[in-house]
Amino acid sequence: MSRYIDAHAHLAASDFKEDIHDVIKQAQDSRVACAVVVAETKDCFERILSLYDSYPEFCMPCLGLHPVQGDYNSPSEARSVNLEDLEKALPIIEANQDKLVAIGEVGLDFTPRFVKQDSDKEAQREVLRRQIKLAQKYDLPINVHSRSAGRPTIALLKEEGVKRALLHAFDGRAAIAMDGVQAGYYFSVPPSIVRSEQKSKLVDKVPLTHLLLETDSPALGPEKQVRNVPANIFHSAEYIAKIKKVSVEDVIRITTENALRLFPKLTRYMKKI
C-alpha cells in the first residue's frame, strides 16, 4: 500500500510549537511517509534543521527565502524580499546544503499589498535568480511560490534553465500552468481544493503525471481559519481522484512516484515508502 508524501509544509511554524510530536505521529498513522518542510525567512532555518535532527525520516529540510519577508499575516510589517535578506541567509543554506532535499520556498509574489513599487518586483526576481543558481550549483530542485505571479514565475524559471521545480498551490489559470507542464514542472495540490473552483480546474487540466500532494500546513486546509496538518493530505488525494476519475490508491501511488522523481534525496533519508 502506497504512502503519501507531503511535498510542501511549514512544520517549523509557531502553530506547531506545542504539539509537533503529536502532529507528526498523527500524520504517520494516516500513511504520510514524510513532509518536505519549507522555509520562509532565515529565522526559521534553525527550527527546520532541528526538526530534521529530531525526525530524520519524516521532516525533510528545504531552506530558502520566500518572496515576502517580515510578518506575512501583518500587511504593515510584510514586505518584498531584498538582496540584503539573501546575503544573510546564503551562508546558512550553503553550510547545510548536503542535508537539503530542495531549495525553497522561493519564488515571486506580486500581491499588491506586498509590492509597493516596480523595484520590489525586480528585487524578488533577482533573489529568485540567485536562489535558482544556488539550487543548480548543488543539483537540487526548487520549491516555488507564485501567488499572483504565475505567468512571470514560470517565464523566469524557463529563462534560467530550471529543469526541476514544484509550483506549490498554484493560483493561476490552468492554461498558464500547462506552460509549466510543458517545461517539465510539477504542481502540488493542497486540501483547500475542496473549496476552490480554481484548484479544481487546475487539476482537471494538469496530467496526473505532473501532480503532487501538499498541505501547506498550517495554511490551506479543507476548512477556512482552521489549522491545517499533514494528516489532512487525504483530502487532496480524494478530490483529485474524483476529478480524474481514478482510484484514490492510484493517486497516492502516482503522486508519490512523482515526488520521488522530483526530490530524489528523499529516498536517502526514508527507510521505506
Please write the tens of the pLDDT for every residue from 32-65.
999 999 999 999 999 999 999 999 999 999 999 9
Residues 79, 117: contact at Cβ < 8 Å? no
- The domain that holds 219 is classified in CATH as 3.20.20.140
Is the peptide bond prior to 218 cis by the omega test (within 30 degrees of 0)? yes
Report the chain's mean pLDDT, rounded to a whole number: 96
> Does the pLDDT at position 72 exceed 60?
no
CA–CA separation, 17 and 30 (whole Å) = 21
Please give the residue range of the domain that contains residue 221.
4-269
DSSP reduced 3-state for 104 = strand
Question: Residue 43 to residues 57, 70, 171: CA-CA distances in angstroms?
Answer: 23, 10, 27
Residue of 131, 126, 152, 154 whose CA lies nearest to 141: 131
pLDDT in tens, 200-237: 999 999 999 999 999 999 999 999 999 999 999 999 99
Structural domains counted in the chain: 1
pLDDT at 271: 60
